[in-house]
Every structure is written in structure tokens, then in C-alpha cells.
Structure 1
């Protein structure tokens, strides 16, 4: 009988339904016990069999509140499918169904909105206006309309809540209002609707401090749409991103020290890129220095030999000790000093960058990091030279010495020029800052 009932719900066969109810008046109640997805009222709501549904609601109106495995009521399914007559019948049978939420937290109105069911949205809003204000994971139904590009439904809902500026300006979990979402997706008609028919905040920023123009600039390029959107935003009074959003991301104490001119958008971007680059390079150099320290040039002794006195005297050695430390002690000491300086300097950079201290956003601090990085790279270069000298048999060759030291000298000059260049840039920046402050 349950199989016959399922087939009747697929076909919308009211005659078969009546026959089955005559044989077993409880058959509808029995099939709802396990909350399967093939319950008659759910199946008929999906397929649009209004007469079949009316027959069930006349006999068992409470079945309209039975959930399936996804906690969906028949009204959820009918709303998503856009069956207006069935929506009316289900709402009439139990108006409370309008506020019921499925497993994703969505009520029937939410599903109708994201699927663009205009007439269903209109019916549900008229029946239970308060359900339009229910939030889904910190998103309003207006957010859902913009995200799913349902312009007509959005117009209808804005008309229904006209005057509620707080609801229109509600932000999602990322701090985006409706305009942020519309600009990110380049929905020109939606942007015009929001700018003309609502009092939405046009200069609001999201949790990342991004304004509408920031979001537009960061998105994929579409010159035609971008031009139209920029024109619409300018007419609405959208201004260029000022320091406000960036200042909110920096502790107040550091702001007072460094000044607002340190915190332009380009400065912050430059500082962050430099810090990311230095973190990567410092990690690489620290790894090289550590490897060189534990595996010195020439390797380590594999056995232990006691010192021998006499004509064939030897100094002896101990297993695990560096060979170069025994044979060329002065060169090993120079190698160890240079390698340690390079290792410690790069570790200092890593430690400072991960500390999160407020002065890390200063250009002066970035310059200091660059100098430390230069010191680390210079001493790692000297470590390389010492290693090559220690591993090369004929180090007294003029050609060898001139080539190696010539290359290193040129490289050192280049490093000095870069440091001097950054120093001059920093001085100019500080001078400009002091003149602006005065």
C-alpha cells in the first residue's frame, strides 16, 4: 500500500489516494514516521499536484509540518519550485510553516528568493512579513538575493522594507554590505537599484578595511562594466579610500609615533610586500647557514686517531669533528664566525617579523630589516668564499684568487649601493613627513 501511495503522489492521483485511505485511514501517518524524502506531501509539493495536496490537507492538515531528512517542510519544497497555489494551500493549513528552518537554516522565503520565485516571495511576505528579517549565517535575505543575482526579488523585498535603513545596511560575516557584494560581482543593475532606491552607506568598509572602490579595483577587469560602476559610484558620492580603514588596523600607540603619512594605501602595500619577501629570503638563508654549520666544508672525521710523536708526527683527530678544524684551524674559525653571523642575523629578521609588534609598519623598521638582511647575505657570501678556498687545492693561484675575490667585491659594491639607495629614499620620506607634520 505504501508503494501505491508513493506512485499516487508521483502522478497526483486523488482517486488512488482516496481508495488507500478507505482501506487504511492511518496510512499517511505511517509513511511519515521515518521522515523519508518520499513522503506523499513532499513529493506532490515538488511536482505541483495541487488537488492531491488539497485532499491530504483536508484530511490531515498537521502533515504540512512534517520534516524530511533535511528538515524541509512541504512548504520549503513548493517555495523553491515556485508552485504558488500549493504555497497558498500550505500556508493556509499552517501559517507557522513560513518560519520553519531547514538544516541549512533557511526558511521557505529564503529558498524562494535564491531561486527567483517572485510570486512565491510576494505571497509569503504578505502572509508572514516578519520571516523576511530572519538571518541565515549572519546574512539577510537581501544578501542572498545579491549573491544569487535575483534582481526582481530584491526589488520586491526592498519595496516591502522601505524605510528600514538598518536592515538594508546590515553587514555579513565578512563585513560586506549589499553594495560590496554587488560591486564585487559587477551587478550594474543591482548597484543602480541600491544607490537610487535605498539609503545604503556608500562609503562603508568591510572587515578588511576595503571600500567599494578597493573591491572594484581588486576584482577581474571588465573595462566597460568598471567604467559604468565607477560613474555610478561617483554620482552617489563614493570617495577614494582614505586613511580611516587602514588606521583601524594599526594600534593607536603606533599611529601617534609614526604619523598618518606613514599609512597611505601604497605605503602599507609596499611595507607588507617587503616583509613577505624578507621572510622568505631570511628563511632560505637561515636554512643554508644551519646546513653549512652542521656539515662544514670537507666534512667530518669518520674515525679517531691518537697524536703521534717523532719523525712521522701527526696531530691526531676525533671522529665527528670537522676536518677543516684540524687541518686549517684559522680558516675554520673565519668560516664559523661568518656562518654564525649570517645565521643569527636572518633568525633575528624572522623573529621580528613574527612578533607582531606595532612598530613593524614603519618604513624605518623596514629599512633596519633591509640592513640586517644585507649583513646576513654578506656574511653568507664570505662563508661561501672561505668554503671554496678550503676545498680548493691550489688556492695560491693568482687567477683563482682574482676571480673569486673580484666577483665577491663586485657583489659587495652592489649590496652597498642598494643599502645607500634605500637610505636616501628613507631620508627623503622622513623629510617629507616632517614637512607635512609641520
Structure 2
């Protein structure tokens, strides 16, 4: 009798079903209790027999929630074959089956995308839009499936109905968004749609630190339709093993440069901080060893006080201010380097180097001031000339460094602006062509 039931389901023979139910009213119940791979409803739904499906659902509606050995529901099978009428009947009976997952983690909406059943997908999304947000294995969303299976129509439908910012920018376990996948597979039409009609984040990086534009470039093409993609200016390329090897070398080279700079800055900052501290607590000229109230020929002084402060109060004030500046600059560098902050970019290294310039310049000024006040008056003119020449040479070197770095930064900024303008112009041209 069971064989006759499954034959009737395969043929969609409603009359035979009714005859079997008269002979054994519990025959449908036995199907759920026996260890069959699939129920008669699975067979009828897979073959699109709407009337047969109606008869079974009227008598045994809970069969709509049964799963076969592959964890497929009747809704999965009807969706895969594109039988919209059957899908509507199953949804009317049990809409929660939109959330049922097969052994691959796919619900009926995922199956509709894979099989390119856009009309069925529209009905499923209308009845259960939240099911579209469920992720599959490897963290992929239904939008990732759309791109992987080149189903642009399904992608447009989903973006229009449930495409909020978070959903559109969801990442899989590799950190790839749908824009990454579209760029990697060279789906230019999909890229244009995402860039013009969705809130996709074009500069989002995957786990390899690559933006969508980087994945597009590694494919070896640069079509006009994809020029709108902004670049992350990332030097990593994975188009070939040779490029991968070169990329790793470049990254390692930059990392080594930063480490060398950090180590050098730490050593120099420690030395300048030590020098500034020693000069601060032991100023040039030393301290008075006795206390003298003073008389007509001498000034009063007290033991332990700085001789320089009493004899040259203005020079001592300048000495103290410049020395404190250099000391604090050196301590700032040491603090930043040991703070654990991610100082892995050249920009931060340049900031630390500028602070170091301040510290070193302070040491140079302290040296010149100390030499001046410690030199006897008759010989100070010669000292002034030497110090003047030294200040002129030092200032020239500082100006040269500043001008060189300024020119370098201006050129880099100009190149970046040129790239942005070029991409913007290309994007405008693409949008104009699309509108035409």
C-alpha cells in the first residue's frame, strides 16, 4: 500500500490518494512514523503536483515541516524546481519552514538564489524577509551567494527589499564583502550596481588587508566600468606566486625599516634625556660651596645654589627653559615607544622624528649657551663667531630637511588627488553611459 501511495505522489494522482485514504485513513501518519527517506509530500512538491499537495496538506498539514534524510523540506524541493504555486501553498501552511536548513546550512531562500528562481525568491522574501539575513557555513550571507552564482537579479531584489547598510556590508569568514567577491570574479556589472545603488563600503578590507580595488587589479584588467572603485593604496598583490613573494618582501622591508627607526629613536631619546637630566641637576659652573652674605665687592650667595643662576640670571633662565624642553621631548618619545600603541606607520615615525629634532636642537643650544657663559669676557667675541657659524649651519640643515620633507609630502598629496580626480571622472562617465 505504501508503494501505491508513493506512486500516486509521483504521478500526482489525487484519485488514487483518496482511494488509499479510504482503505487506510492512517496511511499518511504511517509515513511520518516509518523510516522513509522522504514523505509523499516531498515527492509531490518536487514534481510540482499542486492538487496532490493540496489534498495532503488539507489532511496532514504537519507534513509541511518534515525533513528528509538530507534535511530538505518540501519547501526546499519546490523552491529548487521553481514551482511557485506549490511554494505558496507550503508557505500558507507553515511559513516558518523558510528558516529550515539543509545539511549544507541553506534555507529555501538560499536554494532559490543558487537555482536562479527569482520569482520564487520574491515570494519567499515577501513572506519571511528575516530568513534572508541567516548566514551559512563560512559566514556567507545570501548576498554572497548571489555574487558567487552570478545572480544579479536576485541580488537587486534582496538589496531593494532587505538591503540595509549592515546586511550589504556583511563579511564572510575571510573578511570578504560582496564587493570583494564581485571584484575577484570580475563581475563588472555587479560592481557598477553595488557602487551606484547600494551603501556598500568600497574601502572595506578583508583579512588579507585588501580592498575590492586591489582584488580587481590583481586580475590584470582595469575596465572603465570599474574605475569608480577607490583604491586602498595597498601594495599587496596575490595575482601570482611571484607577486606574492615580492609583496611579502615589501611588507617585511617596511616592517624592518620601522623597527630600525624605533630602536634608533629609543637609544637617542634615552641619551638625550640622560644628558638633559644631568645638565639640569648639575648646571655649568657648579654650585656654591659656602654661604656669603656679601659685601661692597661681592654679591651674596648661598651654599648649594647654582653659580650660573647668581652670575647670569637671564642666561640661566633661558638655559633652564631650553633644557626642560629637550628633557620633556626626550621623555615623550620614550613614553610613546613603550606605551604599546600600534606605531606601525611611517606617519607616526615622522612625528617621533620631529620631536627628536626638537630634543637634539635643545641640546645644541644648551651647549652653545654653556660655552658662552663659561668663557672669560675677553675671549667671548671668538666664541660668539663660532657659535654664530654653528647656529647658521644648524639652521640651514633644519631648513633643508623641512623643505625636502614638505616637497615630498606635497608630491604625495598631488598624486593622491590626481588618482581621486581620475577615478571620479571615470565614475561619472560610467554613470552617464549607463543612463544613456
Give the TM-score range, shorter chain. Answer: 0.5 to 0.7
Unaligned runs of 5+ in 2: 237-246, 263-403, 410-436
The separation in 2 between residues aligned to 1:111 and 1:144, in whole angstroms, is 9
TM-aligned CA distance change 1:251 to 1:158, over 3 Å: farther
Tell whether 2:250 aligns with 1:257. no
The residue number in structure 1 matching 2:398 is none
TM-aligned CA distance change 1:165 to 1:17, over 3 Å: same
- 1:176 touches 1:206 (CA, 8 Å); kept in 2? yes
The alpha carbon displacement at 1:29 in A equals: 1.7
Tell whether 2:179 aligns with 1:179. yes
The residue number in structure 2 matching 1:383 is none
Tell whether 2:6 aligns with 1:6. yes
Tell whether 2:65 aligns with 1:72. no
3-state SS of paired residue (2:33): coil
- 1:35 touches 1:68 (CA, 8 Å); kept in 2? no
TM-score, normalized by length of structure 1? 0.54
The separation in 2 between residues aligned to 1:168 and 1:206, in whole angstroms, is 15
Unaligned runs of 5+ in 1: 261-431
The alpha carbon displacement at 1:211 in A equals: 2.4
The separation in 1 between residues aligned to 2:190 and 2:88, in whole angstroms, is 29
TM-aligned CA distance change 1:252 to 1:155, over 3 Å: same
- 1:35 touches 1:69 (CA, 8 Å); kept in 2? no
The alpha carbon displacement at 1:64 in A equals: 0.6
The alpha carbon displacement at 1:238 in A equals: 3.5
Q: Which of residues 217, 234, 238 is equivalent to 1:241?
A: 234
3-state SS of paired residue (1:67): coil
Pairing 1:95-114 to 2, within 5 Å after superposition: 95-114=95-114
The separation in 2 between residues aligned to 1:14 and 1:187, in whole angstroms, is 47
TM-aligned CA distance change 1:161 to 1:259, over 3 Å: farther
The alpha carbon displacement at 1:217 in A equals: 3.3
The alpha carbon displacement at 1:25 in A equals: 1.1
The residue number in structure 2 matching 1:275 is none
The residue number in structure 2 matching 1:315 is none
TM-aligned CA distance change 1:251 to 1:60, over 3 Å: farther
The separation in 2 between residues aligned to 1:112 and 1:39, in whole angstroms, is 22
The alpha carbon displacement at 1:252 in A equals: 11
- 2:147 touches 2:181 (CA, 8 Å); kept in 1? yes
Q: Which of residues 202, 224, 229 is equivalent to 1:231?
A: 224
- 2:80 touches 2:111 (CA, 8 Å); kept in 1? yes
The residue number in structure 2 matching 1:139 is 140
| 1:292-312 alpha-carbon deviations (Å, 9 max, x no partner) | xxxxxxxxxxxxxxxxxxxxx
| 1:318-349 alpha-carbon deviations (Å, 9 max, x no partner) | xxxxxxxxxxxxxxxxxxxxxxxxxxxxxxxx
The alpha carbon displacement at 1:44 in A equals: 0.7
TM-aligned CA distance change 1:191 to 1:26, over 3 Å: same
The residue number in structure 2 matching 1:116 is 116
Number of residues of Structure 1 aligned to a counterpart in Structure 2: 257
The separation in 1 between residues aligned to 2:68 and 2:229, in whole angstroms, is 47
TM-aligned CA distance change 1:255 to 1:57, over 3 Å: farther
The alpha carbon displacement at 1:258 in A equals: 4.3
RMSD: 3.2
Pairing 1:210-359 to 2, within 5 Å after superposition: 210-219=210-219, 226-227=221-222, 230-241=223-234, 256-258=258-260
The alpha carbon displacement at 1:184 in A equals: 1.2
The separation in 2 between residues aligned to 1:252 and 1:188, in whole angstroms, is 33
Tell whether 2:85 aligns with 1:85. yes
Structure number, greater radius of gyration: 2
- 2:8 touches 2:16 (CA, 8 Å); kept in 1? yes
The residue number in structure 2 matching 1:427 is none
